[in-house]
A and B are shown apart, each in its own frame.
Chain A
Amino acid sequence: MKRVLITQDDFDVAVEYAALCEAAPKSGAVVFFVGLVRDLYDEQNEDEKIDCLELEHYPGMTERLCEDIIDEASQRYPVMVAVAARHRENAFQAAQFIMDYLKTRATFWKKEVGQRGEQWLGLKDKDKLAALRWETNASQSTDE
Chain B
Amino acid sequence: MSVELDGGATVAGLVANVCSKNKQSAALVDALQDQALMVSVNQKVTDQSQVLNDGDEVGFLPPVSGG
User: In the complex the two chains form, is B67's CB within 8 Å of A106's CB?
Assistant: yes
A105 at interface, CB cutoff 8 A: yes
Assuming the A-B contacts A58-B43, A61-B40, A61-B59, are A107 and B64 also in contact, with contact meaning beta carbons closer than 8 angstroms in the complex? yes
Report the interface size for chain A: residues with CB under 8 A from the other chain: 21
User: How many residue pairs at the A-B interface have CB separations less than 8 Å?
Assistant: 46
User: In the complex the two chains form, is B64's CB within 8 Å of A108's CB?
Assistant: yes
User: In the complex the two chains form, is A120's CB within 8 Å of B43's CB?
Assistant: no
In angstroms, Cα B54 to Cα A72, docked, is: 32
In angstroms, Cα B67 to Cα A102, docked, is: 6
B63 at interface, CB cutoff 8 A: yes
A26 at interface, CB cutoff 8 A: no
User: In the complex the two chains form, is B66's CB within 8 Å of A120's CB?
Assistant: no
* Complex: chain A residue closest to B43, CB-CB: A61
Pick the contact of B66 from A60, A61, A64, A107 — CB < 8 Å? A107
A103 at interface, CB cutoff 8 A: yes
Listed in ascending order, the chain B residues whose CB lies under 8 Å from chain A are 40, 43, 59, 61-67
Q: 6 closest A-B pairs (Cβ-Cβ)?
A: A108-B66, A61-B43, A103-B67, A102-B67, A121-B65, A110-B65
Listed in ascending order, the chain A residues whose CB lies under 8 Å from chain B are 35, 55, 57-58, 60-61, 64, 99, 102-110, 120-123
